[in-house]
Amino acid sequence: MSKLVTIYGGSGFVGRYIARRMAKEGWRVRVAVRRPNEAMYVKPYGTPGQVEPVLCNIRDDASVAAVMQGADAVVNCVGILNETGKNTFDAIQAEGPERVARLAASQGISTLVHMSAIGASKEGDSDYAQTKAAGEAAVLKYMPDAVILRPSIIFGVEDQFFNRFAAMTRLSPTLPIAHADTKFQPVYVDDVAKAAVAGVLGRAKPGIYELGGPEVKSFGALMQQMLEVINRRRLVLSLPGPIAKLVALGFDVLQYVSFQLIENKMLTRDQLKNLATDNVVGGSAKGFDALGIRPVSLASVLPDYLWKFRPSGQYDDIMDSARNLRNDL
Distances (CA, A) of 128 to 59, 165, 168, 203, 254: 17, 21, 25, 29, 20
Residue 232 lies in a domain: no
Residue 320 lies in a domain: no
**CA-atom Rg of the chain in angstroms:** 21
Provide mean pLDDT across the span 236-257: 97
User: Which residues form the domain of 32?
Assistant: 4-155+186-212+280-293
For 296-299, the CB contacts below 8 A with 24+ separation are 296/188, 296/190, 296/191, 296/213, 296/214, 297/213, 297/214, 297/215, 298/155, 298/186, 298/188, 298/213, 298/215, 298/222, 298/225, 299/225
Residue 243 lies in a domain: no
Which one, of 71, 13, 37, lies nearest residue 200 by Cα? 71
Residue 321 lies in a domain: no
Which one, of 25, 1, 325, lies nearest residue 200 by Cα? 25
User: Can you give the pTM of this predicted structure?
Assistant: 0.95
Q: What is the pLDDT of residues 174-206, one digit of tens each?
A: 999 999 999 999 999 999 999 999 999 999 999
Which one, of 57, 209, 32, lies nearest residue 136 by Cα? 209
Q: What is the pLDDT of residues 8-24, one digit of tens each?
A: 999 999 999 999 999 99
What is the predicted pLDDT for the residue at 312? 84
CATH of the domain at 114: 3.40.50.720
CB distance 191 to 281 below 8 Å: no
What total of structural domains would you count in the chain? 1
Residue 66 lies in a domain: yes
Residue 305 lies in a domain: no
What is the predicted pLDDT for the residue at 306? 97
CB distance 200 to 113 below 8 Å: yes
What is the predicted pLDDT for the residue at 193? 98
Residue 36 lies in a domain: yes
- pLDDT surpassing 70 at residue 146: yes
Residue 128 lies in a domain: yes
Q: How many CB atoms lie within 10 A of CB 40?
A: 12
